[in-house]
Amino acid sequence: MTRKQRRLTLIGSAGVVLAAAVGLILYALNDQIVFFQSPTDVMTKAIPAGQRIRLGGLVEDGSVERGDNATVSFRVTDTANTVQVAFTGILPDLFREGQGVVTEGVIGPDGVFRADSVLAKHDETYMPKEVADALKQQGVWQGEEETN
């Protein structure tokens, strides 16, 4: 085996090992990746029941209903479409109607989004980037334009 052949064999072997490592990493991350979806995305895309997603938008005014055992239901809207959300647990202190939220969970077979975590905005001017982008795409953004 010449020196050139050994070098090509070494490079080829390193490429195979690198490709296998990338493949294993992508396989391991497949169940961990959670994509952000707006209510319009949920309505227009065929998101299968049971797929884990992040749903973001505004809590619709007058939609919050508190039930037994810390169960809360509310609707998340991007002003074009609305998704019913059910959550059991303690909501963040800043959670209220008309405010931006990002919830994480799965869509049930009945179309209700079952959230296992709810994040609320933390001050008067903050809006999660995904929610702001979704509202801008809908043409209903009322915040300040970025100056970057």
For 3-14, write each residue's pLDDT tens digit.
Answer: 999 999 999 999
Residue 114: what pLDDT?
Answer: 95
41 and 104 share one domain: yes
**Cβ atoms < 10 Å from Cβ of 77:** 20
Q: Is 88 annotated as ligand-binding?
A: no
Q: How many structural domains comprise the chain?
A: 2
9 and 77 share one domain: no
| Percent of the chain residues past pLDDT 90, beyond the cut | 50
62 and 101 share one domain: yes
In a domain, 140, yes or no: no
57 and 15 share one domain: no
Distant-in-sequence, close-in-space partners of 16: CB < 8 Å, separation ≥ 6: none
CB 119 within 8 A of CB 101: yes
Does residue 107 or residue 123 have the better pLDDT? 107
71 and 50 share one domain: yes
Instruction: State which amino acid sits at residue 77.
Output: T
In a domain, 130, yes or no: no
59 and 19 share one domain: no
Q: Residue 98 belongs to what domain range?
A: 34-120
Residue 147: what pLDDT?
Answer: 45
23 and 54 share one domain: no
- List, for residues 24-42, the tens digit of each pLDDT value: 998 888 778 888 999 999 9
- List, for residues 58-101, the tens digit of each pLDDT value: 999 999 999 988 899 999 998 889 999 999 999 998 898 888 89
* CA-based end-to-end distance of the chain: 58
In the predicted model, is pLDDT for residue 129 greater than 50?
A: yes
Q: Is 98 annotated as ligand-binding?
A: no
- Note the maximum CA span of the chain: 78
In a domain, 146, yes or no: no
28 and 40 share one domain: no
What phi and psi, each to the nearest 5 degrees, are found at residue 144?
Answer: -80, 150
Residue 124: what pLDDT?
Answer: 60
63 and 96 share one domain: yes
Token pair listed for 6: 């050994």
26 and 46 share one domain: no
Residue 125: what pLDDT?
Answer: 66
Q: Can you tell me the distance from the alpha carbon of 16 to that of 140, in angstroms, rounded to the nearest whole number?
A: 49
- Give helix then strand counts, H and E, for the chain: 3, 7
14 and 81 share one domain: no
In the predicted model, is pLDDT for residue 126 greater than 70?
A: no
Residue 141: what pLDDT?
Answer: 75
Residue 148: what pLDDT?
Answer: 46
